[in-house]
Amino acid sequence: MRKSTTSCLCHILVCLCFIQRCYGASHHIPADKVTIAKNQTKLANGETEVHHRPKRGWIWNQFFVLEEHIGPDTQYVGKLHSNSDKGDGSVRYILSGEGAGSIFIINEVTGDIHATESLDRERKAHYVLHAQAFDRNTEKPLEPKSEFIIKVQDINDNAPTFPDGPFVAAVPEMSGVGTSVYQVTATDADDPTYGNSARVVYSILQGQPYFSVDPKTGVIRTALANMDREAREHYAVVIQAKDMAGSVGGLSGSTTINITLTDVNDNPPKFPQKNYQLYVPESAQVGKPVGKIKANDEDLGVNAEIKYSIINSEGAAMFSINTDRETREGIISLKKPLNYERKKTYTLQIEGVNSHLEPLFSYLGPFKDTATLKITVGDVDEPPVFSMDYYIMDIYENARIGREVGAVTARDPDSKNSHVSEHSDKYFNIDMDSGVIKTTQSLDREDMPWHNITVIASEVDNPSLLSHVPVTVQVLDVNDNPPEINKDKEVIVCESSRPGQVIQTMTAVDKDDFANGQRFSFALPSGVPVNPNFTLKDNEDNTASIITRRRQFSRIVQELYELPIVVWDGGEPALSGTSTLTLRVCPCQRNGRVQTCQDERGLLSSAGLSTGALIAILLCIVILLAIVVLFITLRRSKKEPLVISEEDVRENVVTYDDEGGGEEDTEAFDIITLRNPAAAEELKFRRDIRPEAARQRGQNRGCHSPPELNQVDVQEFINQRLVEADMDTSGPPYDSLQTYAYEGQMSPTGSISSLDSPGTHSEQDYNYLDDWGPEFQKLAELYVEDTDVADPPPQLCFKTIK
């Protein structure tokens, strides 16, 4: 039914558009109804060109086409027509622009435009195209290019939607009817300017009778008064949006709004019961919790906070109550110690009140409740109690041992005997019966001015019940320390000092306290000769000045002077002490400033260096010097060239560490030189010839003759070589080390070396070594070659190296 209705509407709209274009609109006037003036232009070839003004009948505004066209045929859009078209097919129409040739096609003869595809307005609402008419024979334009729009006509093909749903909202409980909760807005993709396709109406599908919705604005409001959160907290409301103004056939969409009732303080606190009982032992500690009580409140958060208080004076004097914010319980604590013998029960009136009240709901009644708590005090065996929480006593220093300091007292609350003892201390002792504290050692205030001891009292029948009390003993001062001169600064005497000049002002120190050690008097010792160099003046302000008696002190003559000074304190009795000052003579500038007068220790002190720091610095210097010396020694010990220059004549030791080639090496060494000195001159091998040639030369010259070798005196040969080396004028101008090694002939067992073996070769045939493979090829060549040549075993010949 809907398909046929849409098809009918399409045909009607096409016909209306066509009639409007061809006949109807007042702003479209056909060109043949208006007289047009013509202009002519004469061309170069003598012809004339006629210019026509554009025909108003060729001006097109727009065509309309329905979206979502369904059917096998193309959808007719409209018709292009030129006044020059006589219907004989001589006019050709051309279409260009958006979708021309693909979405929109034109009949070149009739000018009819069709849409080949189903269009979606929500995807593209209009298309801009251009139309032109040509003479089919001359291909000249009959009409100028005209722009027009094909607008896609909307149909109701999109349902309303809620892009952001589902939603969450909240409203306070107990709200009045009509209280705004939330506003929903649906969107419709259809054209809002055409028909009712995008006109949305809201309705509620779920959530009645608690909530309602405005059909036009989508505002959700409460529809029921006094909704209680404690009865029901969450609601799910379903809202529907329907287009076509809610008429039949319109499309619809829905969403869910989850509404929560928030809490308000509409419930007072309530104690589960009116009377409570609590047992508390009399030994309970003051300030510690002894019990708890709780009132219930159905509200949440701050609306459920409760403040507890004790409203009767009897209970408030002995107990206190505080609120635990996490558990909302009233914590009862003890304010004063309990005594079972004095009072055995207490009654507490406890009140619980909401901390946050809302005047809007004050009509619901008082937001508080009360309960009665009866506390029973339990009897326990208590430890002894001292008469004071702490004791402070004093005694003079140097008092005799056993002197009484003071006494402590304790009593048993249960009227039983108590036993007093003292915590371990080496200076004091306590009498267990009377509690009198006495000294056990002599006391020195300068060593320890205060003593802290602990006294313990326990019951005789139950020693586990203990009480402790701190006792502080102050040691009072007596004048038992003589004063001394303060020697913090060194006394300097300038060489240019004048008679009567104040060298330095001295002060004194006393280990005794303020009362006995603050007043000092100074004087030079009596009974000694008068000091010719210095005198002393008491300034009567606890200071004294050292004054010179002569001028021109010389550091060279005498650098140090000693000055004894006697100082008295103002104690009872007065004590005195003698201190000897050392005065140092130093050269000074004209203004009295010392130039350079410090000894080594003074220099170190002024530099801020201690003895340990100086030792460390010196050790580092020694290590650096050792490293430098070692480096220079290593540089000098390196080998230098054999011959540096003709002028460089010095002793050199040249060492050659050459590894010999064994008995086969007849090139490097020849032992014949050691055993046949006569042939040594002739047997001089060359490095530039083959070893075989050298060996042949050695054979011809008798290097292997056993009789001669055994008769040689090696010591005589070496001495001869030494003389030749000393007399050799052709050698380099420095000494050379010539080393010879000889095995010797004194062994009773003989030598196992092949050097002294007979010259005859072995009769053994070594040709079988050729069959052992390539690994033994070298060995086979050596033995086979030695057999063929018939040489004696290789001998080691030593050469003289200069």
Q: What is the pLDDT of residues 766-786, one digit of tens each?
A: 777 767 776 776 777 676 555
Distance CA 495, CA 553 (A): 4
> What number is the average pLDDT over the span 278-305?
91
> What number is the average pLDDT over the span 579-590?
85
pLDDT band at 493 (very low <50, low <70, confident <90, very high): confident
Q: Please give the share of the chain, as a percent, with pLDDT higher than 70.
A: 70
Q: Is the pLDDT of residue 517 over 70?
A: no
Q: What's the first-to-final CA gap in the chain, in angstroms?
A: 131
Q: Is the pLDDT of residue 798 over 60?
A: no
Distance CA 333, CA 138 (A): 117
Q: Is the pLDDT of residue 1 over 50?
A: no
pLDDT for 237 equals 95
pLDDT for 224 equals 92
Distance CA 275, CA 373 (A): 6
Indicate the range of 73-77, 212-216, 458-462, 750-754 predicted with least confidence: 750-754
Q: Answer yes or no: are the C-beta atoms of 388 and 417 closer than 8 Å.
A: no
Q: Answer yes or no: are the C-beta atoms of 525 and 485 closer than 8 Å.
A: no
| Stated length of the chain | 802
**Closest to 451 measured CA to CA, from 477, 433, 427, 435:** 427
Instruction: Give the mean pLDDT of the chain.
Output: 76
Q: What is the pLDDT of residues 296-314, one digit of tens each?
A: 998 888 888 999 999 999 9
SS (H, E, C) 368-395: EEEEEEEEEEECCCCCCEECCCCEEEEE
pLDDT for 17 equals 36
**The two three-digit tokens of residue 560, written as one number:** 């140090």
β-pair type (62-66, 141-153)? parallel
Distance CA 768, CA 350 (A): 125
pLDDT band at 745 (very low <50, low <70, confident <90, very high): low
Distance CA 115, CA 121 (A): 14
672 or 258, greater pLDDT: 258
Residue 740 CB partners (closer than 8 Å, separation 6+): 674, 714, 718, 721, 798
DSSP, residue by residue, 188-217: --S-TTSTTTT--EEEEEESTTTEEE-TTT
Q: What is the pLDDT of residues 452-469, one digit of tens each?
A: 988 888 877 777 778 889
pLDDT for 128 equals 92
pLDDT band at 702 (very low <50, low <70, confident <90, very high): very low
Cis amide bond preceding 573, omega within 30: yes
**The two three-digit tokens of residue 521, written as one number:** 């008097």
pLDDT for 786 equals 52
CA dihedral in degrees (611, 613, 615, 621; nearest 10)?
Answer: -150
**Closest to 93 measured CA to CA, from 53, 141, 28:** 141
SS (H, E, C) 56-105: HHHCCCEEEEECCCCCCCCEEEEECCCCCCCCCCCEEEEEEECCECCCEE
Indicate the range of 93-97, 550-554, 604-608 predicted with least confidence: 604-608
Q: Helices marked H in 444-554 — which ranges?
A: 514-517
Distance CA 382, CA 410 (A): 12
β-pair type (576-586, 491-494)? parallel
Q: What is the pLDDT of residues 153-170, one digit of tens each?
A: 777 788 899 988 899 999
Cis amide bond preceding 144, omega within 30: no
462 or 713, greater pLDDT: 462
pLDDT for 217 equals 92
Q: How far is CA 251 from CA 108, 155, 196, 201, 633, in A?
A: 42, 12, 11, 11, 108
Q: Which helix (H) or strand (E) holds 723?
A: helix 714-727
pLDDT for 310 equals 94
Q: Which helix (H) or strand (E) holds 259?
A: strand 252-262
Distance CA 492, CA 500 (A): 15
Q: What is the pLDDT of residues 355-381, one digit of tens each?
A: 888 888 877 878 899 999 999 998 887
Indicate the range of 70-74, 247-251, 745-749, 784-788 predicted with least confidence: 784-788
Torsions phi, psi for 418 (to 5 deg)? -120, 155
Residue 189 CB partners (closer than 8 Å, separation 6+): 122, 158, 198
Indicate the range of 4-13, 248-257, 460-469, 757-766 predicted with least confidence: 4-13
> What number is the average pLDDT over the span 50-67?
64
> What number is the average pLDDT over the span 376-394?
86
What DSSP designation does 787 have?
H
486 or 792, greater pLDDT: 486
Q: Is the pLDDT of residue 792 over 50?
A: no
Q: Answer yes or no: are the C-beta atoms of 227 and 173 closer than 8 Å.
A: yes
Q: Is the pLDDT of residue 793 over 50?
A: no
> What number is the average pLDDT over the span 29-48?
39
Q: Is the pLDDT of residue 570 over 80?
A: no
Distance CA 455, CA 471 (A): 7
Distance CA 469, CA 389 (A): 6
537 or 802, greater pLDDT: 537
Q: Is the pLDDT of residue 516 over 60?
A: no
pLDDT for 33 equals 30
pLDDT for 4 equals 37
Indicate the range of 14-18, 572-576, 765-769 predicted with least confidence: 14-18
Distance CA 351, CA 349 (A): 7
> What number is the average pLDDT over the span 707-719?
61
Distance CA 440, CA 451 (A): 13
pLDDT for 405 equals 87
pLDDT for 86 equals 83
Torsions phi, psi for 607 (to 5 deg)? -80, -10
**Closest to 618 measured CA to CA, from 628, 626, 629, 606:** 626
Q: Is the pLDDT of residue 481 over 90?
A: no
pLDDT for 219 equals 95
Q: Is the pLDDT of residue 510 over 60?
A: yes
Indicate the range of 101-110, 168-177, 271-280 predicted with least confidence: 101-110
pLDDT for 169 equals 95
pLDDT band at 744 (very low <50, low <70, confident <90, very high): low
